[in-house]
Amino acid sequence: MSNDFRDDAIVLHVKNWQTADKYAVCFTREHGKIRFIVYGGRYPKNVAGRLLQPFAQLSLEVIAGQRIDKLKSCELLEMPQAFDFKQMAYAAVVTELTAIFTEDHQPQPEVYELLEETLKLLRERNPRIVVLSFALKLLELVGLLPQVEACGVCGCIIGEEDAWFSPLQGSAICKDCHNPSGEEKFSLGTSNLFKHLKNLDFQNPAPFSIKGGDLMELEAILYKFIMFQTDKPLNSISFLSQMGM
């Protein structure tokens, strides 16, 4: 029985492997996240090695190996449009989050579609907002979306009022249950922004206005929550903060 397959893929991560090869992690339309070796991928004349760049959308043919899969062939699906520096820094958050929060060979076509739409939208809209919205949508698709409608301690419904957020519990906390250690402010504006960005229509994003304070508050709680999930800071998010973006 052969497990070879052909599929559309978005490149999440590529690195050099031994002297002449490349190692790539991709997210595919039908086969979820995959990783494979591209033998000879570092030679300048190797077409696959040249096409396998982060964020590229490719059609791949993969041969299942005993220990690791290998790439048989690849073709460009769409000519990649160049990202500017800022868009690229945000796109790196998108690919790193996808790599961290998905499992190998677990088909999640909706994650593929989200990736595809996000990388397009990053070129057209404010990348900071797009990435925040992407992060919420991805967390929802992988079943890790923080709970913000009800208090994580007493379960009461948090209405139209300011509350708190516990990155450790991944939940909003009501005023009565608030414990000053380790909980972040979660104002009504931030809560509304959370819901708005989670449901934002990427095909047809309607214009909306955002308060800078709400945006910063939402980024702070979400990135802290992600850090609790992953146990370490993401390289791409550390890079953004070093660059003051």
CB 60 within 8 A of CB 83: no
20/177 with CB nearer Zn ion? 177
174/221 with CB nearer Zn ion? 174
Residues interacting with Zn ion, by CB under 5 A?
Answer: 151, 153-154, 174, 177
Strand partners, 59: 8, 75
Minimum Å gap between C-beta 179 and Zn ion is 10
Q: Which three-class secondary structure state does DSSP give residue 158?
A: coil
Q: What is the largest distance, in Å, between two alpha-carbon atoms of the chain?
A: 65
Minimum Å gap between C-beta 31 and Zn ion is 42
172/197 with CB nearer Zn ion? 172
Minimum Å gap between C-beta 172 and Zn ion is 9
The CA distance from 43 to 140, in Å, is 40
The CA distance from 34 to 241, in Å, is 29
151/226 with CB nearer Zn ion? 151
Q: Among residues 113, 112, 192, which one has the least CA distance to residue 149?
A: 192
Minimum Å gap between C-beta 158 and Zn ion is 8
